[in-house]
Structure 1
Amino acid sequence: MPRLSPGLLRYAHISNPLLRLLLPVCRDVESARNELRWLQDHAQRLAPPSHSSQTWQTRLQVMVRQRATGKPLQYILGTEYFGDLEIVCRPGVLIPRQDTAASVAHLAQILQSSDSLPSRLRVLDLCTGTGCIPLLLDHLLSHSRDPPELQLLGVDVSQKCVDLAEENKARCQARYTEFARADVIAGGSSQAPSLLALLQDRASPQWDVLTSNPPYISSHAFVHTTARSVRKFEPKLALVPPPAGVSEIPADGDLFYPKLLDVADHVQTQVALFEVADLSQALRVASLVRDKGSWEGVEIWRDEPGAKDDSFAHVAQTMGDLRILGRGNGRSVVCWRDQGATWLGRT
């Protein structure tokens, strides 16, 4: 990362000493000014009306110093937008990302335009974190022109995540979403029940759509390429799969995907959407889908899946007829079979 010039730092300090503190983490003056404005608004909202301006100014200074250490802005402000929803964020739970929201919204848009959806659509979201994915699907699908009867279930191994997801459910006034604690990885070290035991207890044999933003960062990438603020402040449990001992998977960041595909088979999923880190991982996961032999089709969505397709000859050569949709980095792997092909318009 390039160093900031002394002249730029002096300019920021003269403008506002708090701006100078934010500049190293924001990297440019405009971004630092925006963050300072958001933090000031937040400090003023939190200050009791009867208190003097010194109260919110003191709070603002504390927030700016927290941000200067690299603490994510979302943890300081307490929320982050995910599509149209404002999602509560807290330390210990992964912060929702806008590129995830873009994939989820694109999936919802395709499903909304389908004339062949079942009268009852069941969506299972694994590694749900804040609950943002099922809550956005609930919001978008329930407000479509002719919405199906919806049932959405978000599952996470962390009770802290489940509790926060429940809070977000109330905040978003979601009517069709529930949350539960369970371990997606069979034989995991957590005290949570296994996912299949949870689904059996709930008499839930079939889930039409399966979504997941699982831990997908390899242990090597976490140390060497993951942003320092992410390593320091966001939960490693939600970023890096747990150690699995000897594995046939070449990258330990891929650990969850074979299990997710097994779950999808078990619950007879028709459409699955898995978030990935980048195009290289997307290609590996797409290969896993094809090797599984139980899916009719698979494609990769980029950060902006609704944008015009990009052409990458080397991908076509290595993956045959695999389609890569949109603009940006590889973000999601989408696969389908049976009725799902019709729902997605892939017949």
Structure 2
Amino acid sequence: MASAAASLLARLSRAIGRESAQNELRWMRQALQDPSNRIHPTARTVEDMVERRIRGEPLQYILGSQPFGPLHLAVRSPVLIPRPETEDWALTLAHRIRSQAPPARPLRILDLCTGTGCIPLLLCRALPPGWAHATGVDVSEDAVALAKENARLNDVPLSIPTRHASSRERRANAFTPVRADLMQPDVVRQAGLDPPYDVITSNPPYIPKAEYDRLDASVRDYEDVRALLGDPVGAVPATLPEAERDKGLSFYHRIAELVRDEDLLGPDGMLVLEVGDGQADDVANILKRMTHLQQIELWNDPWGKARVVFARR
């Protein structure tokens, strides 16, 4: 048994380094042995897990889960794995909302490109009961199904309470994920959206094509290109200026269009967009030019990079 364990450690160490291998083997064993785990690993043995990890599959897909603030999320390929920098700003946003006076009615939250549902679900869990009714939109059927699963796993109701609901149901924060293509002209109708919203969040695809082609195979081979590539073929807005093309900015341009043309953001509303490395100033300028939102802040991630463009009416 000891020699088998040593062999697994040696093989995994050659692939990812000894220190990482030691940590990951520990997490693999914990995931398989924890009887209270509501999210089961996608492999039955440590040996199978190690084989998949050596082939380059991300650990989160093998374990089947990823912590995210107060949440424990199910993750499955090809839906994008939530990143620590997203967790950081989502917690910051929750703290900012909590620091305000309690809303007279639940805040209407819209999350575009919702993926696992991590951002709106974190807000639903981190905000006091009755503060949040969230909608998440994603083009991927896999993502919408996973977001629904994550709502159930984290005890967030999946439908917005109606006036006929009990008082307890009306006090609950709730989340509804829907499938729709953000780049389609009729996305508001397609998704059944009902503007305006008090808070709009998004971690959209923002990686330029040249950078995408250089990504590690563990990302390109397992995570949905639609959640990564910022300028999808055939979907770059015709109105995107030449100077902003091929920079991964298409989705920010589209979100700005929706805020401007569909009145997506309500009075005193907050727009919170994650951005890629070096994109913050460009995205801030897109918002100023297209939406006339002038109250704009840039938030750094824990590694000192400008990671979020925050705008408010």
TM-score of Structure 1 vs Structure 2, range by shorter chain: 0.7 to 0.9
| Cα distance, 1:208–1:25 mapped onto 2, change above 3 Å | farther
1:290 maps to 288
- Does residue 236 in structure 1 map to residue 225 in structure 2? yes
8 Å CA contact retained: 1:299, 1:334: yes
Residue 159 of structure 1 and its aligned partner are, at CA, apart by: 0.9
Q: CA deviation at 1:15?
A: 7.8
2:188 to 193, 196, 199: 196
Q: Is 1:165 the equivalent of 2:171?
A: no
1:277 maps to what in 2? 276
Per-residue deviation at 1:252?
4.1
**Residue 45 of structure 1: CA displacement?**
5.1
Shift in CA distance, 133/58, structure 1 to aligned 2, threshold 3 Å:
closer
2:73 is equivalent to residue 91 of structure 1: no
Flag structure 2 segments of 5+ consecutive residues without an equivalent: 36-42, 158-173
The yes-or-no answer on 1:261 pairing with 2:256 is yes
Secondary structure (helix, strand or coil) at the match of 2:111 reads strand
Equivalence map 1:1-347=2 (5 Å): 16-27=6-17, 29-44=18-33, 59-115=45-101, 117-142=103-128, 148=131, 150-175=132-157, 176-186=174-184, 194-198=186-190, 201=192, 204-224=194-214, 226-241=215-230, 242-243=232-233, 244=235, 247-248=240-241, 249-265=244-260, 266-269=263-266, 270-278=269-277, 280-304=278-302, 328-337=304-313
Q: Report the 3-state secondary structure (helix = DSSP H, G, I; strand = E; otherwise coil) of the residue aligned with 1:129.
A: coil
Structure 2: distance between partners of 1:122 and 1:222:
34
State the distance in 1 between where 2:26 and 2:178 align.
Answer: 37
Aligned to 1:111, the other structure's residue is in SS state: helix
**Cα distance in structure 2, aligned partners of 1:238 and 1:44:** 32
Runs (5+) with no aligned partner, structure 1: 1-12, 47-56, 188-193, 305-326, 338-347
Preserved contact between residue 210 and residue 264 of structure 1 (Cα < 8 Å):
no
After TM superposition, the structure 1 stretch with the greater mean CA deviation from structure 2, 77-86 or 229-238, is: 229-238
CA distance in 1, matches of 2:110, 2:311: 15
Shift of 1:41: 2.6
Letter in 2 for 1:331: R
Distance 2:48 2:105 in 1: 52
Cα displacement string for residues 262-301 of structure 1 (whole angstroms, at most 9, x for unaligned residues): 22232234111111111x1111101111222521311111
Q: What SS does structure 2 have at the residue aligned with 1:80?
A: strand
Q: Given residue 279 of structure 2, which amino acid in structure 1 is its aligned partner?
A: Q
Between the two proteins, the alignment pairs up a number of residues equal to 278
Say which is worse superposed, 32-41 or 265-274, in terms of deviation.
265-274
Distance in structure 2 (CA, Å) of the matches to 1:35 and 1:71? 13
The answer to whether the Cα contact below 8 Å between 2:298 and 2:309 also exists between their aligned partners in 1 is yes
Taking the aligned partners of 1:295 and 1:58, their CA distance within structure 2 comes to: 51
Query: Equivalent residue for 2:38?
Result: none
1:134 alignment partner, SS class: helix
Checking the alignment, whether the CA contact within 8 Å between 1:217 and 1:277 is kept in structure 2 is: yes
Residue identity (%): 36
**Secondary structure at the counterpart of residue 328 of structure 1:** coil
Say which SS state the counterpart of residue 177 (structure 1) adopts. strand
Q: Deviations over 1:131-158 (max 9, x none)?
A: 1110000001135xxx53x210011011
User: How far does residue 73 in structure 1 lie from its aligned partner after superposition?
Assistant: 0.5
Structure-2 change in CA distance of 1:169 and 1:293 (3 Å):
closer
Q: Deviations over 1:288-325 (max 9, x none)?
A: 11222521311111113xxxxxxxxxxxxxxxxxxxxx
Q: For the residues of structure 2 that align with 1:42 and 1:151, how far apart are their CA atoms?
A: 32
Max Rg structure = 1
Which amino acid is the alignment partner of residue 61 of structure 1? E
Q: Is the 8 A contact 1:104 1:136 kept in 2?
A: yes
**Which residue number corresponds to residue 39 of structure 2?**
none
Larger helix proportion, structure 1 or 2?
A: 1
- Inter-CA distance 173–295: structure 2 relative to 1 (3 Å threshold): same
CA distance in 1, matches of 2:31, 2:97: 37
Q: Structure 1 residues 58 and 99 mapped into 2: Cα distance closer, same or farther (>3 Å)?
A: closer
Distance 2:44 2:199 in 1: 48
The CA deviation at 1:42 is 2.7
Question: Is the CA contact (8 Å cut-off) linking 1:111 and 1:117 kept in structure 2?
Answer: no
